[in-house]
Chains A and B, each alone.
Chain A
């Protein structure tokens, strides 16, 4: 079995061509990036707004709980089958949305209240406070939300193949149809591997984005999610 999988993976003809691993992996990656970026485009501003003003925080909690209760795979498949084609990508966007939203929201709420108070007290406007204090300090949790979203989307994008969009899921479905279990297993491994690589890349991006002082603070306070300095 393992040798079968290895043989499949090592066969160059499986990698190239229109239906090959490289192209499918590329599509897979594109869909995921698109879905998470599109979700972030809406979820980050919304999360920042709700975190900053405190208005609508009930919505965030309720919304993400509701999303957690939904059978996401079923939802995505349903949407994909219903709408077919590239509209199915919208389902992936919906899937990525709550993780990014709640990560952003939690990030803003976890900014040390004293820093926010000091920012206000020194005469920062509401906007300056958001951009100069809340956002930089929220980045760790915000990026955590993005990574969560990406993992979920990565796993679910296999469904995109059902509606003819391709991606690594294509290899999976194909393998099932023609009874090639080595191909199915290989596809599953590749999906997992791609997810790990992308997560690593995002970890690197997080490291680049999060200001050093914030990282140090988190390390020093035992990465408590509330992020407040220890008293003394």
Chain B
């Protein structure tokens, strides 16, 4: 657990970066600090490992005042991923990660073995281990930065915009990986970003900071999107928040409907009426694409005769995925799949909206049940 008790930071030049702020980061969860540039996120984060000392107030890690431990020892026990990774240019990827175990006095061999395990864990291909940081892409460097921060198996992890330097696709991959890792490791993570989407995706709790180091709101993401505390949070959370909120709405009651299907390799004789869009599956019943109504089929059906499908909605996942599947499919039919990617049926945007509508009037539904 990390606890900020009325911490305040005023720099020597008079800038107040953090204003009398109190915040508790629960054990084993990801808590995100989000806010515009210069609002004091980094300052707050670095108070935890004493890279910055607060002007007043107290920071506690697992109940102990950080000022009671010597800074180097404290930092060795806390993982820290700095912005842009900050890898050591003179050490190989593997030795970068092995640095912390070496500081703890492990032999070079043990430290390297541990480093290799971690690099595998963060999904860095084994052949990159002996490269130097400059020979890696930005995304790969970020992975190494995360592996290095995990090297001492610290219970607490500080991450300062660890994914900001990579393109959106890679960033999304890294985010998914972090969530997967967190599922395995259950660290107490304090994560800084200025990207509200990232905050909402990763955080079990999100602290929105405002310029001058004020805490504007501290809440779970769904609450942040549903009930922004003030105009600042409303505008920061942004325009699509209604849509984003669907990420936190379960899809209970969404029943996939039937759709005509054919398989790759089928001939025109196998294809049903073709009055409607037809979903094309592979031999394992996984969706591959769509055939438009009345489209001619020459010989056996091959991939290149298909129109690419939209996103897929995994059964049981939040409603956002279902709506997106329906909106992105050329047929307007969102394909629902199970965990293995096997086709279960389709849903329309109308169905999603109806569910939302029915939940908005719970009295009616309850009345019907009684």
Which residues of A does B touch, CB under 8 Å?
A: 112, 114-115, 117-125, 128, 132-133, 136-137, 211-214, 216-217, 220-221, 229, 231-232
Min CB gap A206→B, angstroms: 14
- What A residues does B123 contact at CB under 8 A? none
Stretch at the interface among B68-76, B105-113, B216-224: B68-76
CB nearest to A121 among chain B residues: B80
How far, in whole Å, are A133 and B133 apart by their CA atoms in the complex?
14
Whole-angstrom distance between the alpha carbons of A119 and B82 in the complex? 10
Contacts of A229 in B (CB 8 A): 84, 89, 134
B135 in contact with A123 (CB, 8 Å):
no
Instruction: Fill in one digit per residue for B77-118: 1 if any A CB lies within 8 Å of its CB, else 0.
Output: 100101111111111100000011001000000000000000
Chain A residues, Cβ within 8 Å of B80: 118, 121-122
Within 8 A of A (CB), among B36-54: 49, 51
- Flag whether B214 is at the interface (Cβ < 8 A): no
- With both beta carbons as reference points, the residue of chain B lying nearest to A129 in the complex is identified as B72
- Judge whether A232 and B88 touch: CB under 8 Å: no
- Say whether B88 contacts A124, CB under 8 Å: no
Contacts of B84 in A (CB 8 A): 114, 229, 231
Q: B28 to chain A: closest CB distance in Å?
A: 22
**A-B contacts, 20 listed (Cβ < 8 Å):** A115-B86, A115-B89, A118-B82, A118-B86, A121-B49, A121-B80, A122-B103, A123-B72, A123-B77, A128-B103, A211-B90, A212-B132, A213-B88, A213-B89, A213-B92, A214-B90, A216-B135, A217-B89, A217-B133, A232-B138
Docked CA distance A231–B138 (Å): 9
With contact pairs A112-B89, A118-B87, A232-B165 given, residues A213 and B132 touching in the complex (Cβ less than 8 Å) = yes
Contact of B76 among A118, A122, A211, A212 (CB under 8 A): A122
Chain A nearest CB from B190 CB (Å) reads 13
Best-surrounded residue of A128, A213, A216, A232 (most CB of chain B within 10 A): A213
Shortest Cβ distance from B100 into A: residue: A122
Known: A121-B75, A122-B80, A123-B73. A115 touches B88 (CB 8 A): yes
Say whether A121 contacts B82, CB under 8 Å.
yes
What residues make up the interface of B, taking CB atoms closer than 8 Å to A? 49, 51, 71-77, 80, 82-92, 99-100, 103, 132-135, 138, 148-149, 165
Q: How far is the CA of A212 from the CA of B91 in the complex (A)?
A: 8
Closest residue to B88 on the A side, CB-wise? A115
Q: Are B99 and A122 in contact (CB under 8 A)?
A: yes
Interchain CB contact under 8 A, A213 and B86: no
**How many Å from the CB of A39 to the closest CB on chain B?**
25
Q: A115-B88, A213-B90 are in contact. Are A231 and B135 (CB under 8 A)?
A: no
- Decide if B134 touches A216 in the complex (CB within 8 Å): yes
Q: Known pairs A123-B72, A212-B132; list 7 more (Cβ under 8 Å).
A: A115-B86, A115-B87, A122-B100, A123-B73, A213-B90, A213-B91, A216-B132
Those 5 A-B pairs whose CB atoms lie nearest each other, nearest first: A123-B76, A213-B132, A118-B86, A123-B75, A114-B86
Q: How far apart are A208's CB and chain B's nearest CB, in angstroms?
A: 14
- Cα–Cα distance between A214 and B92 once the two chains are bound (Å): 10
Residues of chain A contacted by B51 (CB below 8 angstroms): 117, 120-121
Min CB–CB distance A80 → chain B (angstroms): 41
Most buried by A among B92, B132, B165: B132
Cα of A214 to Cα of B89 in the assembled complex, Å: 6
B358 to chain A, nearest CB (A): 47
Cα separation A104 to B15 with both chains bound (whole Å): 34
Chain B residues within 8 Å of A123, by CB: 71-77, 100, 103
Q: Tell me the bound Cα distance from A220 to B71 in angstroms.
A: 35
Closest to A122 in B: B100
Chain A positions within 8 Å of B134 at CB level: 213, 216-217, 220-221, 229
Taking the closest CB of chain B, its distance from the CB of A5, in whole angstroms, is: 46
B44 to chain A, nearest CB (A): 15
In the bound assembly, the distance between CA atoms of A133 and B165 in angstroms comes to 23
Complex: how many Å from CA A136 to CA B85? Answer: 19
Contacts of B74 in A (CB 8 A): 123
* Measured CA separation A95–B90 after assembly (Å): 31
